[in-house]
Structures are given as C-alpha cells and as structure tokens.
Amino acid sequence: MIKKIILLWLLCVGTMQAQESFKLAYDKPAMLWTEALPIGNGSLGAMIFGGVAQEHIQFNEETLWAGAPHDYSHKGASKYLPQIRALLTAGKQLEAQTLAQKEFMSDPIKQVSYQPFGDIYLDFKGHENFTDYSRTLDLGNAIHTVSYKVKGITFKREVLSSFPDKAIAVHLTASKSKALNFNLWVDAVHDDKRVTTSGNTQTLEVKVKDGVLKGIATLKITTNGKLKVVNGKLHITKASTATIYLSAATNFINYKDVSGTPEKITKTVLENIGNATYADVKKKHITDYQSLYKRFTLDLGDNGKSANTTEKRIYDFWKNPNDPQLVALYVQYARYLTISSSRPGSKPATLQGIWNDKLTPPWFSSYTTNINLEMNYWPVEVYNLSECNEPLFDFIKEVSQTGKIVAKEHYDADGWVVHHNVDIWRGAAPVNASHHGIWLGGAGWLSSHIWEHYLFTQDKKFLENHYHLMKEAALFYSEFLYKDPNTGYLISSPSNSPEIGGLVAGPTMDHQIIRALFKDIIHASKILNTDELFAEKLRGMIPQIAPNKIGKHGQLQEWLEDVDDPTSHHRHVSHLWAVYPGYEINYEETPELMKAAKQSLEYRGDNGTGWSLAWKINFWSRFRDGDRAYKLLNALLSPAEHEERKGAGGSYPNLFDAHPPFQIDGNFGGASGILEMFIQSQLNKIELLPALPTALPKGSVSGIVARGGFELAFKWENGKLIEVEVLSKKGMPCILQYEDSSITFNTQAGKTYKFDALLNKK
Ligand code: FUC
C-alpha cells in the first residue's frame, strides 16, 4: 500500500515536472535579437536581452505602422481585365504581365511596414563581473527571469506582459538590502522622438517617418530605494526592490480612423494599476495566462536533455533528434506565441507576430495571405486556443470591406477579394509585381478559417454571424471565374501559383480553394437554412471548374497545362493545398490524386525555408508518413545560424523560426505538423496517431481538439495506442479510428467516453 502511494506520488511529481519544465533556458545574455526572448499580451510585446551590465528590453505595440488610411484600389483597372485574360489565353504571358503591371496593380504599388516602438534600458554599474547567470522563459506562467550574482549578492529580474493590466511589468530584486542601484531610461530608433521625465515616470513620444501614426509609451517606477533624475535618466540607488510598468499606445483606432488619444490610454492603464503590488499584477497575469495555457498538455517523454540550454538542445537535435521533450516544447512554445500575439481584441499575428526591431522589416512584417498569415492560425483550434482566432476573424471583416472596393475596381465583380499581401490599412489590391502579386486565393483561403472554426466548435451562432463573409467571397469567385476558351473549364484568370511560374490562367491552387469554399457554402447554407438558390448555383458550377490533373511525371499538375518542372525545388507547394490545409485530395476518396500529390512533393524535395519545411511536415503527416514528417521536423529544429546550414532555415537560439530571416509562420506551421502526427479529423472521423514517427514511441496528450466539438486525451506506448478519452462538447455523433479499429457512437454534450487500445468502450 505504502509502496503504491509512493509510486503514485512519484508519478504525480513526474507529470507535474513534465508540465512545469517547459522553459527556454540560457546561461548567457542575448547578444542578438534572435537570441532575446519574446513576451506579449496580444498587443504589447517585448524582446528581452537579459543583459547584466546593461539590460535591453525592446518593445512593440501592434498598431504602430507606417502609412495612413488609404484606398489602394486601382481605379478603372477592370477595363483591362478582358485584355489581360485574352493575352494569357493566347500564350502571351510577358505581354499580359506588362499590361497588368501598368494598369492593374495597387495604387501605390507597395504597402507599408510594421514599426518598432521603443526600448527600455537599465544600466547596472559594477555588474560587469558576475557568476551563476541564468535566463529563462517559463512557458508555464509566461514570465521571463534573469538572475545572477555579483559579489555574493543575487540580483533577479522578472518581466511579463499582462493581458488583464495591459502593461509590461519589470520587477527587480537584490538579495541584500540597499544593494540595487541602476539607471533607467526609454529610447527609440525613430528619428522623430521625445523623452520627458517627471517624478517617477518617463514618457516616450515617437512619430513614424512616413505616416500619420504617433505612439506614446509611459513608464513608471516604484522602489524602496532612492530615486532622482540624472541627465534625463531615472537614477535608483540603495534599493532592494523596484517595479517598473510600461504602457504604450498609438492614435490608430481602425484602418479608417487615426483619431485616437494615446496619452489618455497610457495614463488610464497606469492609473488602473495604481498602487497594486507586483505580486498582485503577477498573480492576475498568471491566472489569465494559465486559463488558456493549461487547457492542453503534451508529454512525449524526457530523456534528460531538457536540463540543457535551449541553444545546445537545438544543436544536439540537428545532430541527433532524440530529444522528445524539445518536440513537445516546440508545440507549447507555439501555443505561448499564439497567446502572446493574438488575443481577443488584438490584431492578428503578422509575419513576425508582434515582435519587430526594424524600421524596414523583412516583407514589411505584414500579413501575407498566400500562405503565411493562414499558417499562423493552423494549429489554433487543435491546440485548444480557439478564441485566439478572433483577431483573424476581425481582420477578415475589415479586409472584406476594402476587398469589396478592389473586387469592383479590378474585376467589376460583387463580393470581396484579397490578393497576396495586406497591411494595417487593409490594402487588398495586388502589390509589388504582376507576376506574383495578382493571386486570387486570399478571400477563399481566409474564409476557410471561418468554416473550420465552425467545424471545430460547432458554434452555430458564430457561423450565422460570419457566414456573410464566406458568402461574399464565394459571390466574388462565382462572378470572376472565367470560361477558358482553350479547355472549356471555368478557371481563375489572371492569377498565379504562389510565387512560381508568373501570371497565368488557371493555377490549380485557386481552383482547389474555390471548390472548397463553394462546398462549404453549400454545407453552411443548409445548416443556416438560407441561400438555397445561391447554393444551387455553386453546386452547378463545381463540376465545371478545372479539376485536379495528373501530369506526365506522375505529378499533380500545378497549372492547367502539364508544364511542371520536376527539378524545381521551389519553396511554395501551392498545388498541394487540397492535401493540407484543404482535404479534397485524400486517401479515401482520391487515392490516385494523393499518389500524384506525393510525387509532386518528392520532386520539390526536403529542403526549404522555415515555413516551407513546416508546410511539408503537415503534408507528410497527411500522407501518413510520420518518419518523413519527423525528418523535416529535424531540419526545422536545427540551428539556423550554424555556418554549415546558413540560409537553410531552421530555428534561431530563441526558437524563433528562420525563413531566414525570422518569420513566425514556421513556428505555428511546425506545431500544426506535429499535431497532425497525433490526430487528424478532416474526414468526418477522428483518426488517432495517423502518422506517428518511430522517434516518438511514447506519449500522452490531453485537451487536444477535433472537429465536431470533441476534446480528447490519449496515450501511446511502443508506438501503439493505449487508451483514449473523448469529451463531447456538443453532443455530435463521433467516429474514432485507430489503425484497423474503428467505432461509431452517439454522444451527449458534456459527457466523456473512454476506450481501450482496440477502441472497446471502457
Ligand atoms: C511569401 C514567400 C516568401 C516570404 C514572404 C513573406 O511571399 O514566398 O518566402 O515568406 O511571403
């Protein structure tokens, strides 16, 4: 009996440790931004370097962008549409591109960048020589901690970004009374900036160079030491503790309105915190964060490597990927990044989430809709953070408004359309260059997120409220599709298979996206008992749309013509959209197309940028080849900066995904690909362990979500399922499948159903 109790206790402690040990850990400060660690509350983010003699906390607020409210549509562009189409039909691609470049592109042709906001610096004189340094980001409570010793005194710093208090908090302590002495100030990389200090607060005002947005950040410190202002810096002496709060805001209200009052906002935030102690703020932050974080657990085992620094773990994983805890950490880190960059009321995660230190960030750090923005949201339902999708739905609402103008001006069509890039002003017209900017899939792909959210949550009210967005996207495509004089099919023209092959008539990806959207509308209109006629029209159109085709190399054709180059290793694999995230192509209904899709992926090869590797992990999971998926995961979790790998993608020391440079989509896409190894539910049933890699023979997961309103917990050992529990949230019928076993059962909302390894009811 006693033995049993001890064993149980050990087991509990074991699991607790597995849960608690999801940390990023380092034994030295960050020198580079990609070594610094991110915190965020959806809107207000920071990168913490963890320096000793000088700490640097670079912060962002998500609404500080260049530019101004603007309608990017090209007036009268639609006049040229028939001519561009005719040139493409006649095989005159270059002429079509030239005409489109002149008459069909966004006005102006470039969008604008997300901006850095400011920097907090803390100088600690005399701390140059230190010992016992540690720097961690604890995913269990979203707190960044630095600690070290100088002359026997322990100095500790915690930093967090609180969602409930809308502020960044920095809390400093010294183990000896009066030993904490430092200078503190704020600054920014903007030319147009002003810092004012008054009492215990410092205010930073910045104005972006090319645009109308200005930002105000206010920092306030409380301490048990002495405080005075020296050369414009806050000078703290003889303290043992100090707490700093930082609030930041801009005059951005929405994409049409910049009449906000940031000084008022930051003032209110700090007043609301008032005299709350750091302990209070921290407690509120942890409660809020854990209400999301704790819903999902993943334990893949821990072979002791979790004690190493994160940097060493990434290096070791590259050489020998036998650190299953790092794989689980990668998933939990993605969840952490979702919670930190996309909360209800915030903007969606950009190419860099909310973290950016450059005035001219790569690809503007904006929203690229031909893969990147959607990839940011791939795992969100499955890893149980459903409400973190809200910013994406708000984004779709806004872009449907600007996209309606673009649909009219460029295509003389109803409904809405969005091309491959969007900025904060919700530009929806084709940007950059006609050979890749004119891509039509954005409205359809984004709409699929609305439908998938419904499938996962079975939330009919949500569907009712968002159906019109899907419908208007479908309306656009139903008018835009064009009967190809060469083949007789309805095709998407002009468009592009991202970002390969130039401007074309009829790229496969568009047709897959449009078909999926039309089918979703047919389904949704039935559920909502509406639009029967429109659904009927779409039903009639589906068989006329150019179908998926198998080409002469056994590949799935990327274009209408059989012109794929089997030696191309291009990072985009767009024509496999229907394998993932779509599922029109699958083993059950279209095995031949599945084979061809796999052949296409073989040709593209296993190399790629961060997000491309991540996409391929999802493909291989859908192809049910867990080992191949794991091979690509190995590459994604390899050191991006290592000289032998430079330019090859992978992960930075802070586990940020490297395109390179940093792009956050790979973090989310990678996590999604890992989850696809454990669960898939796209074919009206829940498949367990459909692509389990040999390298992950043992594990357990809980709080993982499947379509139909189901939340599951299951365990496996020696590569085999041991048991599974299904919580039905909406009382939908359920089909579970594991290898050759399958069970169909009715459920009641709120009830949990338990099964053994052969799916017999327990
Ligand atoms: C697409 C990709 C690039 C990059 C950019 C943000 O254009 O082709 O690789 O990810 O988006």
CATH number for the domain including 234? 2.70.98.50
CA distance 366 to 354: 10
Q: Look up residue 341 and give its two tokens.
A: 């960059």
Residue 500 in contact with ligand 1 by CB distance below 6 A? no
Phi-psi group of 231: left, alpha or beta (phi > 0 → left; psi -120 to 50 → alpha; rest → beta): left
Protein residue whose Cα sits closest to atom 10 of ligand 1: 372
User: Residues of 664-686 as b/e, b for ≥16 C-beta within 10 angstroms?
Assistant: bbbbbbbbbbbbbbbbbbbeebb
Is 351's C-beta closer than 6 angstroms to any atom of ligand 1?
yes
In a domain, 70, yes or no: no
73, 101, 90, 77: which is closest to 505 by C-alpha? 90
Given a cut of 70, the residues of the chain with pLDDT beneath it are 1-20
Helices of type H across 249-389: 262-273, 278-293, 310-319, 324-341, 372-376
Residue 169 lies in a domain: yes
Q: DSSP labels for 369-433?
A: TTTHHHHHTTTTTTTT-GGGGHHHHHHHHHHHHHHHHHHHHHH--SS----SEE-TT---S--S-
* Ligand 1 pocket check for 499: Cβ under 6 Å: yes
Check if 472 has its Cβ closer than 6 Å to any atom of ligand 1: no
* pLDDT at res. 15: 40
Decide whether any atom of ligand 1 lies within 6 Å of the 162 Cβ.
no
CA-nearest residue for atom 4, ligand 1, is 363
Q: pLDDT at position 17, please?
A: 39
Among the atoms of ligand 1, which is closest to the Cα of residue 436?
7
Query: Looking at the domain assignment, is residue 667 inside a domain?
Result: no
- For the record, the structure tokens of 338 come out as 């979702």
Q: In this predicted structure, what is the pLDDT of residue 646?
A: 76
Contacts of 11 (CB under 8 A, 6+ apart): none
CA of 571 to the centre of ligand 1 (A): 9
Of 350, 363, 607, the one to substitute when testing ligand 1's pocket (max ligand atoms within 8 A of C-beta) is 363
Provide the token pair at 530: 């509406």
Provide the CATH number for the domain around residue 746: 2.60.40.1180
Q: Is the CB of 615 under 6 A from ligand 1?
A: no
Q: Of 156, 161, 150, which Cα lies nearest the Cα of 135?
A: 156
| Final residue of a structural domain among 294, 320, 335 | 294
Parent domain of 220:
31-65+116-294
Find the 184 Cα to ligand 1 centroid distance in Å. 39
441 C-alpha vs ligand 1 centroid, how far in Å? 15
Q: Ligand 1 centre from 366 Cα, in Å?
A: 11
What's the token pair of residue 382? 């499955």
Q: Full-prediction pTM beyond 0.95?
A: yes
Q: Is residue 175 assigned to a domain? A: yes
Q: How many domains does the chain have?
A: 2
Of 356, 663, 665, 668, the residue with max ligand 1 atoms within 8 A of its CB, to mutate for a pocket test, comes to: 663
Ligand 1 binding pocket includes 609 (Cβ within 6 Å) = yes
Distance 471 CA to ligand 1 centre (A): 28
The verdict on residue 267 lying in a domain is yes
In ligand 1, the atom with minimum distance to the C-alpha of 665 is 10
Whether 588 is covered by a domain: the verdict is no
Q: How many angstroms separate the alpha carbon of residue 153 from the centre of ligand 1?
A: 48
Query: Which of 294, 327, 359 is a domain's end point?
Result: 294
Ligand 1 atom with the shortest distance to the CA of 370: 1
Q: Is 302 a domain residue?
A: no
Cα–Cα distance between 199 and 659 in angstroms, integer?
A: 45
Q: Which of 659, 662, 667, 668 to mutate to test the pocket of ligand 1 (most atoms within 8 A of CB)?
A: 659
- Residue 9 is predicted with a pLDDT of 41
Residue 242 lies in a domain: yes
Using DSSP bridges, classify how beta strands 686-688 and 734-738 pair: parallel, antiparallel or unpaired.
parallel
Quote the ligand 1 centre to 619 CA distance (angstroms).
19
Cis peptide, bond prior to residue 494, ω within 30 of zero: yes
Q: Ligand 1: which of 368, 374, 423 to mutate, most ligand atoms within 8 Å of CB?
A: 368
What's the 499 CA to ligand 1 centre distance in angstroms? 8
pLDDT, residue 667, reads 98
C-alpha 659 to ligand 1 mean position (Å): 9
382: closest CA among 348, 334, 350, 346? Answer: 334
d(CA 433, ligand 1 centre) in Å: 14
Which is the closest atom of ligand 1 to the Cα of 609? 9
> Which of 230, 261, 294 is at the close of a domain?
294
Q: Distance between CA 729 and CA 726 in Å, rounded?
A: 9
